[in-house]
Amino acid sequence: MGDGAPPSAFDADTAVEPLGDGRYRGEVTPRWDVIGGAPNGGYLVGLLLRAVAAELPAPDVLTVTAHYLDRVEHGEVTVEVEPQRTGRRHDTARARLLQAGTPRILLTATFGYLDDAEGPTAIAEPRLEVPELDECLATPPEIEVPEVLRRFDLRHDPACVGWAVGEPTGEGWMAGWIRFADGRSFDPLSLPVATDAFAPAVLNLLERIVWVPTLELTVQVRARPRTDWLRAGFRTRYLIDGYLEEDGEVRDADGNLVALSRQLALARLP
Amino acid sequence: MGDGAPPSAFDADTAVEPLGDGRYRGEVTPRWDVIGGAPNGGYLVGLLLRAVAAELPAPDVLTVTAHYLDRVEHGEVTVEVEPQRTGRRHDTARARLLQAGTPRILLTATFGYLDDAEGPTAIAEPRLEVPELDECLATPPEIEVPEVLRRFDLRHDPACVGWAVGEPTGEGWMAGWIRFADGRSFDPLSLPVATDAFAPAVLNLLERIVWVPTLELTVQVRARPRTDWLRAGFRTRYLIDGYLEEDGEVRDADGNLVALSRQLALARLP
């Protein structure tokens, strides 16, 4: 951003201002709203992580867990960060997002040094079953999308779009490609939002549309993406008594794993 | 325990004594040591959850995340619990385990009401590829096992034991059956230890033995087990520069999903 270019929407809307003693002020904008007017959970994790990153020596989030306690409204929020340990390879902090004096999100994150990671590599699962980018479909312009989807260029696996016309696949799988619409590249801080931007995979498991509020989201960042486009797939295998997991896998266009995500969410009938 | 029977090892060793203001005193025993003399991470989660459960109205842990900051030694520990929100269906708290004045484990947990959960059910993946109990193998008595394994009756999928004789499968899969050795039944509070008791799945991915310290463990409890024996499988797909995920799936003997786990761990050469 040193070249005078305006910051990306993500950088602008996750910016935090230090208030001292590990406290930060942020502003939740409507630009990341999902259906129903609530801010996207991955965007809010990004805002919290901006504050955490400012308090820890290590540069890269490796694993982050957020518990969503209560709805976050547009407007001012406070983030409180408490570093808990700094070490040679890993630093850990916990944080809270507060609004109107009450905690809305709890977050714990361990940061490290992605570029200096050293150790054995072995990969057992090279396949991520998502068609090539040019075989995937943009959302038709006549379809009204929630605000958060305007922040991305999203391409849908054609095998996964049936839910939108009342024909879910029954397989609990949602896949496609994603990049930021304004040209920003994904990095560790913004990978959580990539894991929370697609339509819920449960829409391809159930025969009806449900609202899917997240209780808890955990994202492991495994590498820095080398491409702007990311290939992503999300799977829900177990919807039990209204609770479901959604497991996400995100790779860059070169095929490198960049993030794994899992959330515990509710499937609520509208 | 009202009938005068001695408490199970798990209940005795996770017991905490309230000190007031959300603080609890516990005692880490050597009975749950893994190789190297460190206490099993799932056992420590159980101890923390005992303190959290005492502070929240809802009875059942639904999702819990622990970040392991530093080694926990045998002996006295303090657990600090801070409830953050109590609601109609879900309560959330964060907690820390401290020893010698420094935080060793951070934990966040959301509790709820497993028996009153209501909502749609749909399951996309009915298979968990673990052989029947009578086809699995107990550890031969001549093999010396770490102390924690004496707390369980563990039976190994015969297809997964090759790593122990220098013949890993290369598939990153470890599976078998588990019950407590002393007859205790698994419940939501003790399911995390069931997800952390088997040998690491990465031992069936790499050609060499590694030490696998956990950085972060998340467990979703999805149902109360109806049987003492649990069927479990663990998979590591991506070991990259010394970091790996391990995904666990645990079912009761009736085939019902009871827990999903995921950890971020290191693979360290000895």
Contacts of B61 (CB under 8 A, 6+ apart): B49, B52, B53, B109, B110, B111, B188, B189, B219, B221
Interface contact flag, A121 B65, Cβ < 8 Å: no
Q: Model confidence over A18-72: pLDDT tens digits? A: 999 999 999 999 999 998 889 999 999 999 999 999 999 999 999 999 999 999 9
Q: How far is A169 from chain B (nearest CA, A)?
A: 11
B121/A241 touch (CB, cutoff 8 Å), yes or no: yes
Question: Quick one: chain B helix, strand, coil %, rounded to 5?
Answer: 15, 40, 40
Q: Count CB atoms within 10 A of the CB of residue B114.
A: 21
Q: Say if B137 is an interface residue toward chain A (CB within 8 Å).
A: no
At residue B32, what is the residue type?
A: W
Q: How far apart are CA B205 and CA B100, in angstroms?
A: 37
CA distance B53 to A228: 44
* pLDDT, averaged across chain A: 95
Could you tell me if A257 lies within 8 Å of chain B, comparing CB atoms? Answer: yes
Residue B167, Cβ neighbours under 10 Å: how many?
11
* HSE-CB for A37 with a 13 A CA cutoff: 3
Give the CA count within 13 Å in the CB-facing half-sphere of B92. Answer: 21
Distance CA B139, CA B161 (A): 10
Please give the angle made by the CA atoms of A219, B127 and B10, to the nearest 5 degrees: 65
Cβ contact, residue pair A238, B216, below 8 Å: no
Tell me if A68 sits within 8 A of B87, measured CB to CB.
no
Using alpha carbons only, give the angle B260, A83, A195 rounded to the nearest 5 degrees.
Answer: 40
* CA A129 to mean position of chain CA atoms: 20
Residue B85 token pair? 């929100």
pLDDT at residue A208 in the model: 85
Pairing outcome for strands B238-240 and B230-235: unpaired
Q: Collect all residues of chain B within an 8 Å Cβ-Cβ radius of residue A202.
A: 122
What residues of chain B, 172 to 231, have a C-beta less than 8 Å from chain A? 172, 202, 205-206, 208, 210, 215-216, 218, 220, 222-223
The answer to whether the CB atoms of A122 and B205 lie below 8 A apart is: yes
What is the rounded CA–CA span in Å between residue B39 and residue B11? 15
Q: What is the mean pLDDT of residues A187-211?
A: 95
Band (A1; pLDDT cuts 50, 70, 90): very low
pLDDT value for A3: 62
Written as six digits, the tokens of A48 are 């919290």
Confidence grade of residue B1 (pLDDT, cut at 50, 70, 90): very low
* Per-residue tokens: B117: 């959960």
Residues of chain B with Cβ-Cβ distance to A81 below 8 Å are none
Contact B269 A120 (CB under 8 A): yes
Please check whether residue A98 touches B, CB under 8 A. Answer: no
Nearest-neighbour CA in chain B from A43: distance (Å): 20
Give the predicted TM-score (pTM) of the model.
Answer: 0.97
ipTM, interface predicted TM-score of the complex: 0.96
